[in-house]
Each structure stands twice: as C-alpha cells, then as structure tokens.
Amino acid sequence: MKIIMLGAPGAGKGTQAKRIAETYGIPHISTGDIFRANIKAGTELGQKAKAYMDAGQLVPDELTVGLLMDRVAKEDCVNGYVLDGFPRTIHQAECLDEALEGHVDCAMNVDVPDGVIVERMGGRRACLTCGATYHLAYIPPKVAGKCDVCGADLVLRDDDKPETVLKRLSVYHEQTQPLIEYYEKQGVLKTVDGTRPMNEVFEEIKTLLG
C-alpha cells in the first residue's frame, strides 16, 4: 500500500505516518531522511543534492524523485510505504506519478483549521539542552518552564512562534493545498478530522485504509 500524508504543518501527519508504518509493517519515509542518508553514504545522487543544499538552493524535483525512487526500490518497501513531506507541490506529484508509472493507493489528508494549528504550535516548548519536547496543554512539564529530564529551561522555538507558523501556513495553502484536489480527482483522497485526540484520528485512519 503506497500512502502519502497530506496536511498543514502542525496537523500531526508525521505522528500518524509513524503509527501507520508501525501498524502495517511498512517504512515511514521522509525526504529529509533520504537526503541525510544519501549524503552520509556519499552516493552520486546524495552528492548532487548536497551541492544544491550547500549553495542554499532547493534540490530540484526530479533529483528528489530520483532519490525517492531509489529508496522505495529497496526490499523493505515491497509491501508499500508511507511518504511524509513529499510531494509538496503539483509538479512534484506529477513527477512522482510519472516515476511510479501510476499513482499512489491513498492520499491521507489530516485536516486541521489554521487557528487550531497556531494554538497547538504556540503551546509547544522545547529543551535545547537534551531535546525533550512538551506542550503546555497536552504534555506539560512537571515543573512549569523546566525540563523533566535535565532540569534546563524550556523555550518556545522560533519555528513555533505564531508569526512563523502563519508564514508556513501561507506557503502550505499556496503550494501544497492544491494537492488535495489533485488526489481527489485521482479518486485516492481520504480525509480525517485532525482536531480530535490522536488515538481517535488513528482509529479513523485504520478504518479508511481498510
């Protein structure tokens, strides 16, 4: 089963992608992980991607799809995979369809309104010392403002500040949201209400996947 995760930044699609992968015994694949693995291994595609990244440029879609197809050709993907963070644009989706010589089996859209996302991400707190993460509403630290693990101060990361989140949402609506209609036309789109508790969302995903 070839699954793509869709949803705005902060919608929780990464968490659900990991749970799908664990439950169905298929790999959870993110393009960031693929880039890092290929660069570390010094592959030809990895070296090409690194040249763009070192120059502060975006890796071209065709090269990204090439790296992705190399990954999904591996033995652990024989029963399928979950793609997280790709495609982000219509052009990337078209490149992927061309490479797959068809389309994915399911595009799972985790739907969460912008206001809820801003509230969710604004409640996140991180420990820069040990990397532990918290949420003021959902996973609060035992002592306010302090990390449970190492006792260091917790901070609101720049990425989670409302102004940054709104910018990321604006990019999402402009570039990535059109994928919802793209996959709806292919007949593979399934949408879940991502505002509910994580376990409820996952139960609905399992029902939709059958």
Per-residue pLDDT tens digits for 159-174: 899 999 999 999 999 9
This prediction has a pTM of 0.86
2 is catalytic: no
Strands 81-84 and 28-30: parallel
Q: In the annotation, is 168 catalytic? A: yes
Q: Which of 13, 19, 71, 120 is catalytic?
A: 13
125 is catalytic: no
Which amino acid is present at 6?
Answer: L
Q: Which of 146, 157, 161, 190 is catalytic?
A: 157
Q: 201 with 193: CB under 8 angstroms? A: yes
Q: Is 19 a catalytic residue?
A: no
pLDDT in tens, 94-122: 999 999 998 899 999 999 999 999 998 99
Q: Read off the tokens for 62.
A: 């065709």
- Domains for the chain: give ranges and CATH numbers: 2-26+79-209 (3.40.50.300)
